[in-house]
Amino acid sequence: MSEFDLIRTYFAGLGARRTDVVLGVGDDCALLDLGADQWLAVSLDTLVAGVHFLADCDPEALGHKALAVGLSDLAAMGARPAWATLALTLPGADPAWVAAFAHGLGRLAKAHGVALVGGDTTRGPLAITVQVHGLVAPGQAIRRAGARPGDQVWVSGHLGDAGLALRRIQAGAPVSEPLRRRLERPDPRVAIGLRLRGLAHAMIDVSDGLAADLGHILEASGVGASVELAALPLSPDVAEALANGAGWDLPLAAGDDYELCFTAPAAHSGRIEAVALEARCPLTRIGCVTSEPGLRASQPDGALWPIARSGYDHFRDEA
């Protein structure tokens, strides 16, 4: 069974049915109606040593990334971050390591107005779980479902940087500092997510690669999309790697981008361009939503690129 089969079969809809659950399993965050004039947005992510990061990685960067991936999920709903809880499993109590980790997490939390309000600390193989809680006005959250034929497809920042950094590290090749930062200290696009409320029809954060994550929007919305590969926003490093023979899977499927992918009606394109200027982060139109299901990616010569991988699946290679 795939990761998604497991979730769908055993966990979606588990437990009591409650009328205050606006949105349960299946989006970047759950949405809970507290009866106040805010909905609570909740998301939880685990980073496991040897799977999500190398055991010898910089603990300060790890603290940053452990929170950043959660803030990215809040950004994808258009929610404002507020609180976090932290479950830390450590092989031993190394004060210098924990101090650096706490510093990295604390600095990002402060920058986004987030308070750490609880957690759990245990001994075992190194693993980190962060739960984030944010607020969004009722009806303002941007879900994966909501894309409509004719919408334009947009993506923030650049794609493929983290994947390229990881490939270079694994190959023992030199990695520039800016590229390493993109892998180790992603900058969650919270300000963009907030500004896209009322503009975007559907949104997701790109954690598993654009093809897989845009695929989740399309599936949830019951639509398809056509994407122009020549339009993908690429850093000079990734553009150079592509020119040197790296395939389109680098920006489409390498993952760990923590950018936002969203769809919006063409009438909002001017306001979306203004958001990019305000947030000082490029927003790029890469294609359009179609009523025909499926994701089609056209290469510069017009030929379709075969989208091979559908993102990272933790159980893909299990029998």
DSSP state of 223: -
Confirm or deny that 37 is annotated as ligand binding: no
Phi, psi dihedrals of residue 213, rounded to the nearest 5°: -75, -40
What dihedral angle (degrees, nearest 10) is formed by the CA atoms of 247, 253, 256, 258? 110
When asked if residue 11 is in the footprint of ligand ADP (CB under 6 A), the reply is yes
Confirm or deny that 285 is annotated as ligand binding: no
Distance, CA of 272 to CA of 224 (rounded, Å): 22
Q: Which of 38, 131, 207, 235 binds ligand ADP (CB under 6 A)?
A: 207
Distance, CA of 219 to CA of 296 (rounded, Å): 14
When asked if residue 51 is in the footprint of ligand ADP (CB under 6 A), the reply is no
Distance, CA of 217 to CA of 318 (rounded, Å): 26
**Does residue 155 contact residue 206 with C-beta atoms inside 8 Å?**
yes
Q: CA 90, 91, 97 angle in degrees (round to 5)?
A: 60
When asked if residue 161 is in the footprint of ligand ADP (CB under 6 A), the reply is no
- E strand or H helix at 122: strand 115-123
When asked if residue 237 is in the footprint of ligand ADP (CB under 6 A), the reply is no
Confirm or deny that 313 is annotated as ligand binding: no
Q: Which of 45, 161, 237, 256 binds ligand ADP (CB under 6 A)?
A: 45
Minimum CB–partner distance for residue 306 and ligand ADP (Å)? 23
User: Among 20-28, 126-134, 162-170, 195-203, which window interacts with Mg ion (CB under 5 A)?
Assistant: 20-28
Q: Which two tokens stand for residue 123?
A: 């001994």
Give 175 or 192: the residue with its C-beta nearer to Mg ion: 192
Binding partner of residue 26 among Mg ion, ligand ADP, none, CB under 5 to 8 Å per kind? Answer: ligand ADP
Minimum CB–partner distance for residue 145 and ligand ADP (Å)? 12
Q: Which residues are annotated as a binding site for ATP?
A: 119-120, 144, 207
Q: Which residues are annotated as a binding site?
A: 28, 43, 45, 52, 73, 119-120, 144, 205, 207-208, 256, 312
